[in-house]
Amino acid sequence: MAIGGGILFGALGTWLTPPWLLGVGAAAGLCVLALGYLVAVLSSRTAADFLKDALREGFLRPVLILAAILAAIALVSSPVVPVKDLFRSITRLPRAGSLDVHETIAPKAQEQQVSLDIRPAELKTLHIVSDKDVKISLMQYGIIKQAQQGSIEITAGEPYDWSKATSENNLFYGDSTDSSVMSIRNLSDDPAHLQFTGLVTEEFPAVQTVPQTAAALVGLVLLFLLFKAVAPKIAAVALATAREVTVQPLFQIVAVVGAFALLVVIYIPGNTFGEDVKMLKSSDVTLIKILSVIIALWAASESVSGELEGRTAMTVLSKPIGRRQFLIGKFVGIVLPVALLFLILGSVFLLTVSYKVVYDARESAKLEPNWIECYQAMITSVPVLVLAFFEAVVLSALSVALSTRLLALAGLIVCCSVYVLGHLVPMLVVSNATDPYGFINFTGQLFAAVLPVLDHFESEAAVATDTAIPLVYLAWAGAYCLLYSTVAMLVGLTLFEDRDLA
């Protein structure tokens, strides 16, 4: 493996390997989308026109460009990344899962060779059961304590168990599937039936990022196309709104300044007692979230409140578009630029997290980390970004609902107040010790029933304790985001139904 490096950028192969996995996943997703586009163009003129129209919109094209940039980063960084090992592990992904091999050994026969067709590093557990006494010789063995002279003697009916978690070395030794070949000799006068069961994992579990990234890209594009096909009127309002937001100088300035700030924060020293990576995660996610909330509040005040006050909404509503379609379209049209900003800044953020692990080790005179440590720091940051996006969506829904009745400045002030109170609600609810009359607690309970509890989307505790956020929690947080956003939009629709636009 060729490794490049320097004082400023560290070992390139170490911190570029995790982004390389993201880039390969993005490239795979682009290939799948390109194939689907080709099939659609060749099979139906209507589908071809629909896809070409979708590509011209203000959301799908930037997403595909971002995916292409990630793929280009993977291509450029390939000379310093262990491509051979990673690609080998990627091609072996379908092999991961349960191991179940049955073999019959002839009686009193010479040693019979049996292959498990796995790489030694892929074997996690192995359970061997035989109905006759057999002797198994490991042609290339790596474990000494459980196998004297590379052999295992199994008594009929007595299973043999091996686990990578409790053993110092792999059961087999080597780098190829030929290393998992065993020579088995039947010691009885009858045929012996052996069953090999166990668990096979990836040699490098990090390569799961490749299909996951590809699936996320393809799923995002398909979801966008489905939305455009199922709700064309809402999609028309949403895409027009998203286009208006993304072409504004404010959005572009926020994206550029945010990306620059994420890069600069890497080199800002702090008294974190060796926890610079955690501090970087917390501060960068907060920065991305605040910038996204600013875009959401500004877009809601300009696109909803501004059009209602300027009477331009009457032009849209004079067409065959109802008020509900108009308001829901505005909400989706605001969420799309927020999602795009998260994708852009989130990609920069993940790259900086991977690099920060190497930079922090050198600054602290620690041992040089390996790429797996960089990957763990990067991949555990993804749920943190997802939670921050959920919070931005909730505030977007609330800002759209308030913009139906309040002026731009008033709506902005109220939403900022909700942002502060939403984070203070848990503290108000549990403040019984300093609240003898229960007034603060009652106020907290009232706010908790009306305002969003934004602490559900906070991740500082997980980042500080270096704890991975479970998928179950993400699912519940997503359900809360969907529920509160739906309620906020229902309130907004109620306020908008009887508003006089003339």
Instruction: Give the Cα separation of 127 and 115 in Å (integer).
Output: 15
3-state secondary structure 290-329: HHHHHHHHHHHHHHHHHHHHCCCHHHHHCCCCCHHHHHHH
Answer yes or no: is 337 within a domain. Answer: yes
Stretch 180-203: mean pLDDT, rounded? 89
Give a yes or no: residue 399 inside a domain. yes
Residue 85 inside a domain? The answer is no
For 17-31, the pLDDT digits (tens) are 999 999 999 999 999
Q: Which amino acid is at 281?
A: K
Give the pLDDT of residue 146.
45
Same-domain check for residues 372 and 476: yes
Closest by CA position to 108, among listed 192, 187, 184, 193: 187
Last residue of a domain, one of 163, 186, 201: 201
Position 91 in a domain: no
Does 36 fall in a domain?
no
Amino acid at 307: E
Residues 353 and 419 in one domain: yes
4 within a domain of the structure (yes/no): no
Q: At 157, list the tokens.
A: 């009916």
Q: Are residues 180 and 265 in the same domain?
A: no
Token pair for 500: 């006089």
| 255 & 159 share domain | no
Domain assignment present for 392: yes
Tokens of 109: 């026969």
Give this prediction's pTM.
0.86
Residues 6+ away with beta carbon under 8 Å from 451: 418, 421, 422, 425
Instruction: Give how many domains the chain has, as a whole number.
Output: 2
**188 and 108 within one domain:** yes
Asked if 383 and 345 sit in the same domain, the reply is yes
Domain hosting residue 477, numbered range = 231-497
- Give yes or no: residues 330 and 450 share one domain: yes
203 neighbors 121 (Cβ within 8 angstroms): yes
**Is 182 in the same domain as 243?**
no
Tokens, residue 419:
């942002």
pLDDT given for residue 188 in this prediction: 87
- Residue 223 in domain: no
Average pLDDT over residues 361-376: 84
**284 and 388 part of one domain:** yes
pLDDT for residue 53: 84
Cβ 196 vs Cβ 100: under 8 Å: yes
- What type of residue is 351? L
Residue range 194-205: average pLDDT?
A: 91
253 and 380 fall within a common domain: yes
- CATH number, domain containing residue 115: 2.60.120.10
pLDDT > 90 fraction of the chain, expressed in percent and rounded: 35
Are 339 and 482 in a shared domain?
A: yes
pLDDT 10s digits, 133-172: 998 888 655 554 444 447 888 888 899 999 988 877 788 8
